[in-house]
Amino acid sequence: MRTALLSDVHGNEAALDAVLEDIQSNRVSAIVMLGDISYRGPKPSECLEKVRTHCDYVIKGNADEWAVRGIHAGEVPAEAIELMRAEQTFTAGHLSEDQRAYLHHLPSSLELPLSNKRQLYAVHATPESLFTVIPKHAEDEAFQAFGSANPRADYYAYGHIHDPHYRRINGKSIINTGSVGLPFDGSPEASYVLLDRDDDVHVQFRRVPYDIDRAVQDLSDTGYPAEAVPLLRYIYENGSRPV
């Protein structure tokens, strides 16, 4: 059996469609979404409904929290907050009351059996916070909170940093899925992870090309805040943030 782990769609329906199609072609038995579904992209409602339809397990990310209650001072750099609040207004305005309630009530973590002997523990950022950043090249000690929060697990998964990676620490596996809709690792292709589940668990990172022109056009067609369009277009086309 196979489990798909995906995260950080950020309202990019074109990327999500491509990933869901790839998942379908790989005969996946369960899909796990690690948060950041709607905010910061042109198709917040459409992406949320596809996640609700296709994903078996969904947890909350910081952008899901922002979509519902807004962005507080101090949560993002001061020079970015005006732009990001304009994007939040767009997102919230395209979500129904039911959709906002769904995001609000999402759990912040998930424990899932992968086999008779292996457990997965998943969060968006860290077990303690939706916002804390643990980068790809962090020291092993930065991941201690995962084991402390759930010592039973053999595999720990998170999203949030938009930069896929894998490492082993004291016999445990740490997996970052990368981002479906806003990759930051230099490849514009959508990123997600497959876990092949037999007597053991095998981790496979997947990169999926998608119609970037469609995603860029969606920014215009939906009336996404004009001041944010150059940034998102750059990320869609380059798979990284502007320097």
Tell me the pLDDT band of 115, cut-offs 50, 70 and 90.
Answer: confident
Q: What digits encode the pLDDT tens for the residues 77-94? A: 999 999 999 999 999 999
- Residue 39 domain-assigned (yes or no): yes
Q: How many Cβ atoms from other residues are within 10 Å of residue 23's Cβ?
A: 20
DSSP 3-state of 174: strand
Are the beta carbons of 6 and 177 closer than 8 angstroms?
yes
Q: What is the pTM of this model?
A: 0.97
d(CA 10, CA 19): 13
Quote the domain boundaries for residue 92.
2-238
Report the pLDDT value the prediction gives residue 236, as an integer from 0 to 100: 98
d(CA 177, CA 165): 7
State the CATH number of the domain containing residue 180.
3.60.21.10
- Residue 184 domain-assigned (yes or no): yes
The closest alpha carbon to 162, from 71, 51, 236, belongs to: 236
Report the pLDDT value the prediction gives residue 1, as an integer from 0 to 100: 85
Percent of the chain with pLDDT over 70: 100
Read off the tokens for 11: 């309202």
**Helix (H) or strand (E) segment spanning residue 147:** helix 144-149
Read off the tokens for 24: 């379908």
Q: What digits encode the pLDDT tens for the residues 151-204? A: 999 999 999 999 999 999 999 999 999 999 999 999 999 999 999 987 788 999
Q: Indicate the number of domains in the chain.
A: 1
**Helix (H) or strand (E) segment spanning residue 231:** helix 229-238
Identify the sign of the CA torsion 145, 142, 113, 10.
positive
Q: What digits encode the pLDDT tens for the residues 201-231? A: 899 999 999 999 999 999 999 999 999 999 9
DSSP 3-state of 211: coil
Q: What digits encode the pLDDT tens for the residues 49-83? A: 999 999 999 999 999 999 999 999 999 999 999 99
Report the pLDDT value the prediction gives residue 200, as an integer from 0 to 100: 82
Cβ neighbourhood burial of 198 (10 Å; 0-12, 13-18, 19+): exposed
| Strand partners of residue 176 | 158, 165
Are the beta carbons of 162 and 182 closer than 8 angstroms?
yes
R_g of the chain computed on alpha carbons? 17
d(CA 57, CA 68): 20
d(CA 114, CA 194): 12
Tracing tokens 């767009």 back to the chain, one arrives at 90
Rounded to 5°, angle at Cα 128 from 35 and 23:
25
- Residue 243 domain-assigned (yes or no): no
- Residue 72 domain-assigned (yes or no): yes
Q: What digits encode the pLDDT tens for the residues 136-149? A: 999 999 999 999 99
- Residue 185 domain-assigned (yes or no): yes
Report the pLDDT value the prediction gives residue 75, as an integer from 0 to 100: 96
